[in-house]
Every structure is written in C-alpha cells, then in structure tokens.
Amino acid sequence: MNLNPVLQTLTTLPARLRQRARGMFNLNDPRWGRDDDNKSSPDENKPEAGRDEASAPRPPAPPPRPQPQGQGPNQGPPDLDELWRDFNRKLGGLFGGGNKPGQRVRGNGGMGGGGNGGNGGPGSFQPDMKSAGIGVGLIAAVAVLIWLGTGFFIVQEGQQAVITQFGKYKSTVGAGFNWRLPYPVQRHEMVVVTQIRSVDVGRDNIIKATGLRESAMLTEDENIVEIKFAVQYRLSDARAYLFESKDPAGAVVQAAETAVREVVGKMKMDSALAEERDQIGPRVRELMQTILDRYKVGVEVVGINLQQSGVRPPEQVQASFDDVLKAGQERERAKNEAQAYANDVIPRAVGSASRLKEESEAYKARIVAQAQGDAQRFRSVLAEYQKAPQVTRDRMYTDAMQQVYTNVTKVLVESKQGSNLLYLPLDK
C-alpha cells in the first residue's frame, strides 16, 4: 500500500492553506487567494487509480452561478473544496477508495464559487471493504501495541511495586524493568521499603478529664510518669502495608502506646526513672513487633529512641522528684567512694596478712629445723660420751669456752704471770 501520495498531500496542505489565507486577507488581490479559472486541478487532468479512460461520460455540469454585481469571476470568497477533495482522494487511495469502471460516485456540494454539485464529483470516493478492513486492522494493531507498551515500568532500587488487577492484589515485584497488563486491567503502586521512617510517641496535649498529658502513664506502685520516645521502622511487606491496614502510621503509634503502657505498668517509678530506664526501649520494641505482626501491618520496628529527658515525673511534682533524684545520686556517689576505698584497703590488708603468714611459716620451719638439729647433735654427743666420757667432757668444755670468748667484748688477763698465753683449767 503506497502512502506517499497521502503524505505528500498532508505535507503540502499547510502551505497551500497559508497561501489561500494570505490571498483572502490581501486587499490588493482580486482573486481572494483563488487559482486562475483556466487552471484545472492537477488531479482532474489525471485519471484516478483504477479508473478506465473509457468510463461512462460525466453528466453535464450545472450552469454557472451568476456573479454578484461588481464582482469578477475570480473575486468571490476562497473555495477550499478543491483541497478537501484532493485530501479525500489521497485518503481513499490508502483505503482502496479508487472508483471502479462504470461506477457512479456521489459528488460533494460546493462550499463556494467553483464547487462541483450533483453526482460525479472528482473528490468523492467509495472505499473497497477489503482494503478498508486491512487499513482499520493495521490502525487497530498499532493502537493495541501502543496500549500494551504502556504496561512497562521501572522499579528503582530500594522499592517494590504492588500490582493489582481490577483493584485486587495480584503480585509484588522488585527492582528492575517490569511489565503488567495496561490500565484499566492492572495497575501498580510504588512503595519504598528501605527507607527508615520515624514517628514520635507521647504528645503534650492535656486531657481535660484528668489534667494530665497524653504521655502520662501509671506505674506498678501507682505513680505517674511521662514518657516520650521516637519509633523508627521500615516496611517489611508492601502488600500488607497497603491492604491490611487503613492507616499503617496510626497503627504504629497505637501499638507503641499500648506496648509502653504495658511495660511501664510492670515497673516501679524509681526503676523506670533510674535503674531499669535503659530496659524500657528493648522491651517496648519487642512487644511492638509482636502486636504489629499479629495485625499484619507489614512493618518492622528498627529501634526505640528514648532520650535523656524521655522519662520524667509529672510537671507538678518535678521539683520534689529532682530532690529525691539528687539524694539518690549522692547515695550512689558515697557508695561508690566506699567501694573504691574498700577496693584499695582490702587488697593491701590481704597482702600484709599473706606476708605475715609466710614469715610465720618460715620461722616455724627454721625453729623446727634448728631444734631437730640440736636434738640430733645431742644424740651424737651422747653416743660419743658413752664411749669416752672424759675426752668428750673436755671437748665440750673447750667448745663452750670458745663460744663464750667469741661473743665477749672484754677479756681480763692476769699480769703477774707475765705471759700473754692463756691456759684453760681443764682439770677444774
């Protein structure tokens, strides 16, 4: 099927319309943008495709219309019938609209001067049904391809696309190039699953019935504390996040409030403010995740951020609790100092006791060994004494005097004898 004539006509049509428009608005042009009468349309001199030159003779043209007084043959308003008939002929060629031999066609009524009335106008056509069906099928196929092409979409990294078919959940696809049936059969909705979302729990709104803030809650010992914290979470199931809960963010807040009230309700006030304060966050996170999984919200709790001032008593008794807290801190400080002193003194005392114990053990061993040695020496001397009493007695006397004179600092010598040599009186 040749599309060149149609394309050529569509290409030249704007230029010809502009030329006619310039002629219409040009006061110096007596033809009002119309071609000369002696020029016939190029398509009128050419036989149409599929038309035999020996076709049936045309009916006589109607008599020319009388021109208005003072107006020449080319001074009427512009006639666009020729352009319209030319476009119809080219379009008819695309859909098999060539007139068959001997076939009468119906003409187009003139829109102005120079128009052809009656039957047999060159701009009329009657399309061939087979060729027209092919053209319509081609256009329908292109339209279907374009419609199917609208089903392609791209899912970015960190996102998931939830596909619904006639409003019902169909599937979930991850990052990449994907395709679904085009609208209105299927739709898709992008959900960011890696983004960390945050929501604050514990507002300062005053409840008129109680005069307390919404963040106030009761402890196990029937005291009141105010808790504020932030919940960080991300999506774990895109389908559940979109379809299982009407307000997922509100469900997270409600689950957080329920969990923190249950956790704090099992603590005493002093524990919640001091000793067990660091355990509130992990317990709330665990209980929150259990609640959200039970209701299939499709949310994973990442963490609970409990700030330094997140747990505090009511404002009306804040000063008293500050004094109590300071007293507790002083107690802890004194306790820590005492523990530090004990850690310093006790090791030294233990070391001294161990040293004394070791010294006593050494003294004991030395004394016992010395006594054993003396006893052994006495037994040896006794055996020798039994063998030779006099010799043993003299030897013992000599050894004793040697020890005595060794330890003395002064020795008295009788000068009458005139000798420095001393004799021990062994016979006395």
Copy the structure tokens of residue 321. Answer: 């609790």
Question: Has residue 341 got a pLDDT over 70?
Answer: yes
List % helix, strand, coil for the chain (3-state, nearest 5). Answer: 45, 15, 40
pLDDT band at 344 (very low <50, low <70, confident <90, very high): very high
Question: What per-residue confidence (pLDDT) applies to 118?
Answer: 42
3-state secondary structure of 39: coil
Higher pLDDT, 251 or 117: 251
**Which are the contacts of 329, defined by CB distance < 8 A and separation ≥ 6?**
none
Overall average pLDDT of the 355-363 stretch: 93
Please, are residues 205 and 226 in contact by the beta-carbon 8 Å criterion? no
Question: What per-residue confidence (pLDDT) applies to 423?
Answer: 63
Overall average pLDDT of the 113-126 stretch: 45
CA distance 325 to 312: 11
Question: What per-residue confidence (pLDDT) applies to 58?
Answer: 55
Question: What per-residue confidence (pLDDT) applies to 18?
Answer: 63
Question: Has residue 349 got a pLDDT over 90?
Answer: yes
Name which of 58-72, 102-116, 263-277, 321-335 the model is least confident about: 102-116
pLDDT band at 291 (very low <50, low <70, confident <90, very high): very high
Question: Has residue 154 got a pLDDT over 80?
Answer: yes
Question: What per-residue confidence (pLDDT) applies to 13?
Answer: 60
pLDDT band at 60 (very low <50, low <70, confident <90, very high): low
Question: What per-residue confidence (pLDDT) applies to 241?
Answer: 87
Question: What per-residue confidence (pLDDT) applies to 356?
Answer: 93
3-state secondary structure of 405: helix
Which of these, 317, 313, 292, lies nearest to 302 by C-alpha position? 292
Copy the structure tokens of residue 125. Answer: 């056509």
CA distance 238 to 241: 5
Name which of 5-9, 197-201, 228-232 the model is least confident about: 5-9
CA distance 243 to 171: 12
Which of these, 256, 262, 330, lies nearest to 297 by C-alpha position? 256
Question: Has residue 42 got a pLDDT over 60?
Answer: no
The strand pairing partners of 152, in sequence order, are: 179
CA distance 89 to 92: 5
Question: Has residue 338 got a pLDDT over 90?
Answer: yes
The strand pairing partners of 388, in sequence order, are: none
What does the buried/exposed string (b/e) look like for 159-195 if buried means 16 or more CB atoms within 10 Å of the residue's CB? Answer: bbbbbbeeeeebebbeeeebebebeeebbbeebebee
Question: What per-residue confidence (pLDDT) applies to 309?
Answer: 72
Question: What per-residue confidence (pLDDT) applies to 405?
Answer: 77
pLDDT band at 272 (very low <50, low <70, confident <90, very high): confident
Question: Has residue 171 got a pLDDT over 50?
Answer: yes
Question: Has residue 311 got a pLDDT over 70?
Answer: yes
Question: How is residue 272 annotated by DSSP?
Answer: I
Copy the structure tokens of residue 277. Answer: 């304060």
Name which of 29-38, 278-287, 343-352 the model is least confident about: 29-38
Question: What per-residue confidence (pLDDT) applies to 428?
Answer: 54
Mean pLDDT of the chain: 75
Please, are residues 162 and 188 in contact by the beta-carbon 8 Å criterion? yes
Higher pLDDT, 140 or 104: 140
pLDDT band at 109 (very low <50, low <70, confident <90, very high): very low
Phi first, then psi: give them for residue 306, nearest 5 degrees.
-100, 110
- Using CA atoms, how far residue 260 sits from 21, 201, 202, 381, 420, in Å, is 80, 10, 10, 93, 109
The tens digit of pLDDT for each residue in 186-212 reads: 888 888 888 899 998 887 777 766 667
